[in-house]
Amino acid sequence: VKEARAQERQHGKTSSTSKGVGKTGSTGTRLHTELLFRDFLRFSALAWGTSLFKIGGPFHIKGVPWKRDQELFRKWCLGQTGFPFVDAGMRELAATGYMSHLHRQCCAAFLVRDLGLDWRMGAEHFESQLLDHTPDANWGNWAYRILQRPSLVETRANYPLEEHVNTVEVVVWPAVHDAQLEHTLLWVPELQGLPKDLAREPWRTEGQPSKRIKIKPYK
């Protein structure tokens, strides 16, 4: 962090995307933030103890009807969900043992919020695949970032379920972070023959191209 900030003082601040300093700050600031969060998860894991590995997580979530559908889980692991951004991340993980932070968060959220699978199944799969796995970072991120908070579980229980995609990132993030679909089409080559807007949302080929999938943000 010290070296990054010294570099910025000498040459000016930059972002990791080379698009200027955005809302997350400069590269040095972002690095500092990520190191703080790393230490937060390390100390939190010590405080949470074995609750980190239980279905309710460290916040003792109750009332979520978790599923353990092995076929849904298999398709998620293999990158065959039908959502290209998710599938690209999961296929890259299977082939290389690595996936970006954006994909980790998106794929994890999709497993929990849309497939409704036991979050520990996903955490265990990441543990078995990631070359950079550490228990505090992997399980801590699943429990802290992906699991619902108790108050949100109670709130959502008061409203009827609707058919929609909860993980809005599956559509928004590829448009923002992979606009030309270079990464997505590298790992999901069967979509290369489609125009980019349809390759990003291939379900639109099944009906009217102008029809959009219904999306509702999770938070």
pLDDT digits (tens, 9 = 90+) for 16-47: 544 444 445 566 777 888 888 899 999 999 99
DSSP letter at 133 equals -
Question: What are the tokens at 194?
Answer: 């489609």
Q: In the prediction, which pLDDT does 88 show? A: 97
Question: What are the tokens at 189?
Answer: 């080559």
Indicate the range of 87-91, 158-162, 173-177, 204-208 predicted with least confidence.
Answer: 158-162
pLDDT digits (tens, 9 = 90+) for 74-106: 999 999 999 999 999 999 999 999 999 999 999
Question: Residue 138: pLDDT above 50?
Answer: yes
Mean pLDDT, the chain, integer:
83
Q: What angle do CA 54, 113, 169 make, to 5 degrees?
A: 125
152-177 as b/e: b if 16+ CB within 10 A:
eeeeeeeeeeeeebbbbbbbebbeeb
> CA Rg, the chain, in Å?
19
pLDDT band of 153, cuts 50, 70, 90:
low
Question: Residue 171: pLDDT above 80?
Answer: yes
- pLDDT above 70 covers a percentage of the chain that reads 76
Indicate the range of 52-61, 183-192, 208-217 predicted with least confidence.
Answer: 208-217
Cross-strand partners of 165:
215
Q: In this structure, are residues 104 and 200 in contact, taking their beta carbons and an 8 Å threshold? A: no
Displacement of CA 198 from its chain's centroid (Å) = 22
